[in-house]
Structure 1
């Protein structure tokens, strides 16, 4: 028996507010206690409750499959394993004795074959250039439409660098830390005035000057590119992690908060960030982008991609029956009637694309893989689409910190900036 009992949350910014952690942990602990005492019915009920409170967690789903087997429900166990494998394609259950009762079923053998197929290496992107700067933790990405200069942000120390599109010229553009701010996250060039760069800045434990007093600090910055000057900073009360932003053609800035989770808006001409939308469907918000015909798309790291109708602020899953296929998306970009997804909350890591129809809905069976399970793809984070090409950070160094959130500089990777056609 190899009951999984650890809670290894596999999303970028772990929030204490995204769901009722105490409730689901309580239900989970009840389930584990019941298992240990041989009360398999209570074990199952506790895991079903945990899964309802905190959906799509690989550990909960693993143990829920065990619970169904213990309650003589093999079809339900297989269904859970198949669902889990759609975003976590790891056969970690294959040698667990708890799964012996279903191991000879053809559905089980088919599941193992499916997992093998999902771990096939697919590599369609090409290396644009490598970026080697010890301790620089690449996150945000923007391409200037006129100069074609790339802006890259640094989560750890709040640096923003500019790099020529061929990677040959690299210089520091701004140090947010020296300006009194924090780590640099998502970035966008203003669609109305290309001399303006918008940046989200927040504090994580990996921030090089982290202390508890600044925990929860976050702001949106409006920067004059030519003058290299912060024109305005925008904040709001409370603890926040502003992770990404997008800008409408009219100049409204939409911001995701990975801490609450809430979508905020900075209306054009306003000096105040306002709450735009909260929803029971939100768990952990990441990337977002505007599509056509008044739709805003936002990635929920746990639930998948959500479509928001700006006319009435209604929220629905992009794929009503299989939205878990889109979970674990960090950066997300609308281009050529498609959503481009950088998925680092899945196993394996993926860069994928799904087509969108004129009504803003996903076209069934159009989910396609650009990169998957490739050696260079070690946590793709954010990117940008420019001239029908996706530019993205392929291997952001989130895994190169020790238990005290200090960077392991001796092991710091050479970072890859890659590109893929999205025309």
Structure 2
């Protein structure tokens, strides 16, 4: 009896250990470790098994999305949405895309019958291209010009500096425009209406905040700027020299302010005065009565490019009131926008957040659990090494690989 009890105790101990320890005992097992935020970390012996695990984990969070994509190509959306989608379904069935999609795995990879891809650059490898702030071929945009400023005098790019930039909501283009307008005002080159609007911005701190009349005025000015200067108006000289839209505006403002700092004179002063007056007076006529507000946003379940209605209205999520009217910060995300800060010197110092949560399953505790991070502009740990991941483990699921031995050997080559 004592031996039997001892045997049972040993067996129970083994079962408990296997359930809590992150150890893969058998070859051909796929392990899905979910952390405290519901993010799946997948471990396997080869690429084929990793891809299978990734597909399995994705289905757990996004089955509905995969189903809608399948139905769209198969021409069966009208079974869910009704007759309004019949014409789309007819087109898809006529094109026969679904049949080709079904055949693709065996055509592309006849040996395994799988379609999978991933970055070929391993974790811990150095990225081969220089990382810089892109401005596009036509120059700066209102956000990129601001990104340079906090980093201009720094010798290194730290996590703290990234976080600051990511939450920054200063409008550099509006600030520089107001600096130019202030110089022209001191020279008595602005109209009364322009001066009146300029005075409304005298105490503004250049941040785009809700419930701020000054921020509302500034955003109106920036919107008007995007349509100027034009080559077929009295600002033709300015337009021909600096270009139009935001990239031209930024080039104009930087050039004029740098010239003034150097010589105390503005280039093309008369033309610049005409341009600034036009913008301020047009902005005054475009101002809304109400103070700037962050509009209410409802994230439809599931939002899609086709604009289809919600498939489950009870799961529609109302975004909380955020703190800025600027769409260039993590404080204002209109949907599932993923942010990750990667420390190339230590992958376990990575940070991330996914608005509003990692799972798209309304029954999941991770459906809406990162909203607090979203509202405060903060991030969560996003460690990449297995050792660090296990510090935040919430669940471990083990799958037996459907990949046969020959295919496993091929996947590891």
Which bracket does the TM-score occupy, shorter chain normalised?
under 0.3
Identify, as 1 or 2, the structure richer in helix: 2
Which structure has more relative contact order (CA 8 Å, sep 6+)? It is 2
Q: Which has the higher strand share?
A: 1
Of structures 1 and 2, the larger Rg is shown by: 2
Q: Provide TM-score, normalisation by structure 2.
A: 0.21
- Normalised by the length of structure 1, the TM-score is 0.21
